[in-house]
Amino acid sequence: MRLAFTIFKYFPYGGAQKDMLAIARACKQRGHDITLFCYEFQGERPGWLEVQLLPARGLSNHRRALHFQELALAAIAAARFDGVIGFSRMAGLDVYFAADDCLAAQLATRCALIRMLPRARCFAAMERATIGPTGAKTILTLTQCQEKDFQHYYGCAYERFSRLPPLVPDAFRDLDALRSKRKALRQELRAGEDDLVLVQVASSYHTKGVDRSLYALAALPGNSRPRLWLVGAEKHPESMQRLARSLDIASLVTFCGARNDVPAILAAADIMIHPARRESAGAVLVEALAAGLPVITSGICGYAEHVGNASAGAVLGEPFQQQQFNQQLASLLADSERRHACAEKARAYADSHDFYARASIAAKAIEQAIAAENAEKPRQA
């Protein structure tokens, strides 16, 4: 089959972007031709993937998104693809990969003024075109919460959903190889062999609650504060760097930026913290379990359930309370036996689940959805 994949922007470290590339590769390996349509592509382009950059214009993100939708639908219609798989909300999809939580549910908690802003109205309309009755026939979901919200706000039939398992990079299959890099990474990232190291992976500091992590670190007794590695791309890290200085913990915090060796960094750390304000899934939580790390996460994260099921740390209640986070972190740091037990449970849980098959499962679901869609077209004619 000739398949069109769509996403607004591709950059190497985005969760949806990594999923898109893995699923596209799985489809290619199954014999399908893949063309990706986007308006921005950062990083190296794989030789097996045809990329068509569409010159979407607009002074705001929502205007560019609307223009991209117009350009993509025209280009796809002219090329006669068998199916269209979208990783961003837009009309004209056969299959939608729900990388984001339900926008309608999020807007329902905001004031009327926010809901009436052009940006909110535009993206809400694009979500209706994606999830509503005339939207994608198949929705690849990540969590049960997404499905419940889509059903509540759009009346989606349950049969439209195909839930995918969490995805863990293949590098975690060989944990010994990752741990062999521990000493070198700790030297590079300003941590001694005997230091306790917290790690947080965040591509958007505010959304992922980096400020919450800094406050929790500062609240610890001065003689027992661990190191903190902040890993991930952030355009403007200055505000969090200023906060670390104002809390007198700047010497303990390493802003690592975007990295290609996140699995090895997780294996070199001691505890994962992830007090996110918003997180549809949170693949880093499952990656931390695969690395054998205890995890403290906010309950709003879709994959927090795996941390709870594994009994590998703590899932914070909602609404978030900073004091609860501070106490959970202090307790875990003070109890080496609990840390060891959580680490063993984390790895055992990861070993008992197939967290490496998401891309192939998604590829099969796409094949089935497109085949069913095309089989119905002659009868509808």
Split into its structural domains, the chain has a count of 2
Rounded to an integer, the average pLDDT of 185-200 is 96
The token pair that represents 151 in the structure block: 């059903």
Residue 52, H or E segment? strand 50-53
Paired tokens of 125: 């309309």
Asked if 222 and 263 sit in the same domain, the reply is: yes
Q: What is the domain extent for residue 312?
A: 170-351
Contacts of 24 (CB under 8 A, 6+ apart): 5, 34, 36, 49
Residues 295 and 203 in one domain: yes
> Cα–Cα distance between 356 and 349 in angstroms, integer?
14
SS3 271: strand
Main-chain dihedrals φ then ψ at residue 40, nearest 5 degrees: -155, 135
| Same domain as 90, residue 234 | no
- Same domain? For 339 and 374 the reply is no
Q: Do residues 182 and 51 share a domain? A: no
Look at residue 373 in the predicted model and tell me its pLDDT.
Answer: 86
217/127 same-domain check: no
Residue 317: both structure tokens together:
């209640």
Does 141 lie in the same domain as 112?
yes
Amino acid sitting at position 354: D
Same domain flag for 158 and 75: yes
Same domain, 342 and 329: yes
pLDDT of residue 74: 97
Give mean pLDDT, residues 40-50. 95
Give the tens place of pLDDT for each residue, 300-320: 999 999 999 999 999 999 999
Domain identity same for 98 and 113? yes
What are the tens digits of pLDDT across the range 169-185? 899 999 999 999 999 99
* pLDDT of 381 strictly over 50: no
Looking at every residue in the chain, the average pLDDT score rounds to 95
- Is the pLDDT at 31 greater than 90? The verdict is yes
pLDDT at 189 over 60: yes
Helix, coil or strand: residue 108: coil
Please tell me whether residue 164 adopts helix, strand or coil conformation.
coil
Q: What is the 3-state secondary structure (H, E, C) of 272-333?
A: EEECCCCCCCCHHHHHHHHCCCCEEEECCCCCHHHHHHHCCEEEECCCCCHHHHHHHHHHHH
**CA separation for the pair 147, 73 (Å, rounded):** 26
Please check whether residues 159 and 174 belong to one and the same domain.
no
**What CATH number does the domain containing 44 carry?**
3.40.50.2000
pLDDT recorded at residue 378: 61
pLDDT for 380: 46
215 and 138 share a domain? no
